[in-house]
């Protein structure tokens, strides 16, 4: 595979990971290699409005997937109803995709996928069978 980046689990490790290059817009795969989303944004720990000396640096809490990507494209602010959080503690590896340590069934799932599956696709004949 590709050159692996160090998993940035330890806060004091000082490993440099370029968020824009190696995190944002990368696919997220579950433990079986199934795509479960794409990193649309990052959630950081709280940054106080007034930074005093000795304030601990912010850290990445979660990878965020959802329509927030539209803000990155078009700018502006809109309400965030449908954001999915993938906690940093589930990240197993940063490679050509972000590999997560959990199966898709234990990860958040977008409502549209669920709705289309239950209401449309699974109801059509053969919708639950693997082709072939």
Partner 1 sequence: MKKIFAVALGILTAIGGFLDIGDIVTNAVVGSRFGWSLAWVVVVGVAGICVFAHMAGKVAAVSGRATFELIRERLGPRMALANLSASFFINLLTLTAEVGGIALALQLASSVNYLLWVPVAAFAVWLVVWRVGFELMENVTGLIGLLLIGFAVAFFLLGPDWGELGRQAAQLMPTQESPATYWFYAVALFGAALTPYEVFFFSSGAVEEGWSVKDLGQSRLNVLVGFPLGGFLSLAIAGCAALALLPIGVEVGTLSQVVLPVAEAGGTLLLVAIILGIVAATFGAALETTLSAGYTLAQFFGWTWGKSKAPAQAARFHTTMIVCLVIGLGVLATGVDPVMVTEVSVVFSAVALPLTYLPILIVANDPDYMGEHVNSRALNVAGQAYFGLILVAAVAAVPLMIVTGVGQ
Residues 9-38 that bind partner 1 (CB under 8 A): 25-28, 34-38
**Sign of the Cα pseudo-torsion (45, 46, 50, 53, in order):** negative
Burial class (CB in 10 A: 0-12, 13-18, 19+), 123: exposed
Residues 111/115/116/122 CA torsion (nearest 10 deg): 130
21/47 with CB nearer partner 1: 21
Q: Quick one: which segment of 7-15, 53-61, 69-77, 85-93 binds partner 1 (CB under 8 A)?
A: 69-77
Interface region with partner 1, contact rule CB under 8 A, candidates 44-52, 53-61, 68-76, 85-93: 68-76
Instruction: Tell me the C-alpha distance between 38 and 84, whole Å.
Output: 10
Strand partners, 98: 28, 94
CB contact set of 95 (below 8 Å; sequence gap of 6+): 1, 2, 4, 5
Is 63 one of the binding residues for partner 1 (CB under 8 A)? no
116 belongs to the binding site for partner 1 (CB under 8 A): yes
Which one of 1, 49, 50, 51 is in contact with partner 1 (CB under 8 A)? 1
Min separation Cβ 123 and partner 1, Å: 9
Residues in the site for partner 1, rule: CB under 8 A? 1-3, 25-28, 34-38, 40, 65, 69, 72-73, 96-97, 104, 112-114, 116-117, 120-122, 124, 126-132
């Amino acid at each position: 595979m590709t050159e692996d980046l160090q998993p940035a689990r330890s806060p004091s490790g000082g490993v440099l990971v370029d968020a824009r290059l190696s995190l944002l817009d990368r696919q997220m795969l579950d433990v079986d290699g199934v795509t479960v989303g794409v990193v649309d944004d990052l959630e950081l720990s709280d940054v106080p409005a007034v930074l005093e000396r000795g304030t601990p640096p912010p850290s990445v809490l979660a990878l965020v997937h959802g329509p927030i990507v539209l803000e990155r494209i078009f700018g502006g602010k809109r309400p965030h109803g449908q954001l999915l959080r993938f906690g940093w503690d589930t990240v197993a590896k940063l490679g050509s995709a972000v590999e997560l340590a959990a199966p898709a069934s234990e990860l958040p799932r977008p409502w549209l996928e669920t709705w289309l599956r239950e209401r449309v696709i699974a109801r059509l004949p053969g919708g639950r069978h693997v082709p072939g």
